[in-house]
């Protein structure tokens, strides 16, 4: 028996769409994030769900239909996001997982939160004035991960 992807374990596209629905409902009423997303496309929630699906080992829909990493990156360029906004985004999406019905086992949540922390830090860095991100890169593929053992010096 093979290990399921995070996408499969989460419940696939329907689960990730539920997550983005719950999440963006919260975002639009959040004082810190609402201004950033006030004019988001009606398809934004679906697009973020597609991105997360591809990152977590699901179909390559974001790449095939929306342009992959360069397209995702273009949505962040010049936004000049703040650490407060990044941190709030990460906290709200992690806090939306329960209401969306995502698995609550510690292994899944650890991998999920690890990607959210990593991804939001990349978005923050690439949103700053003068940022020069790579013009082309593949969509990252996030797995279950494993922390290396602690070796005291």
Is 139 a domain residue? no
Is 28 a domain residue? yes
pTM equals 0.91
Domain CATH for 88: 1.10.490.10
CA neighbor of 142 nearest in space, from 77, 65, 51:
51
* Mean of all residue pLDDT scores within the chain: 91
CA neighbor of 53 nearest in space, from 12, 2, 100:
12
Q: How confident is the model at residue 138 (pLDDT cuts 50, 70, 90)?
A: confident
Is 140 a domain residue? no
What is the tally of structural domains in the chain? 1
- Answer yes or no: is pLDDT of 105 > 60: yes
**3-class SS shares of the chain: helix, strand, coil, % to 5:** 60, 0, 40
Is 19 a domain residue? yes
């Amino acid at each position: 028996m093979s290990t399921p992807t995070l996408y499969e374990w989460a419940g696939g596209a329907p689960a990730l769409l539920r997550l983005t629905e719950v999440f963006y409902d919260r975002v639009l009423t959040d004082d810190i994030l609402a201004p950033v997303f006030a004019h988001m496309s009606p398809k934004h929630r679906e697009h973020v769900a597609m991105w997360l699906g591809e990152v977590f080992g699901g179909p390559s829909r974001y790449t095939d239909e929306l342009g992959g990493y360069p397209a995702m990156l273009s949505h962040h360029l010049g936004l000049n996001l703040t650490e407060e906004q990044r941190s709030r985004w990460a906290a709200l999406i992690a806090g939306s997982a329960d209401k969306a019905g995502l698995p609550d086992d510690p292994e899944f949540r650890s991998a999920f939160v690890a990607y959210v922390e990593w991804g939001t830090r990349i978005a923050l860095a690439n949103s700053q004035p003068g940022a020069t991100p790579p013009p082309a890169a593949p969509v990252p593929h996030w797995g279950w991960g494993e922390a290396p053992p602690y070796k005291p010096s």
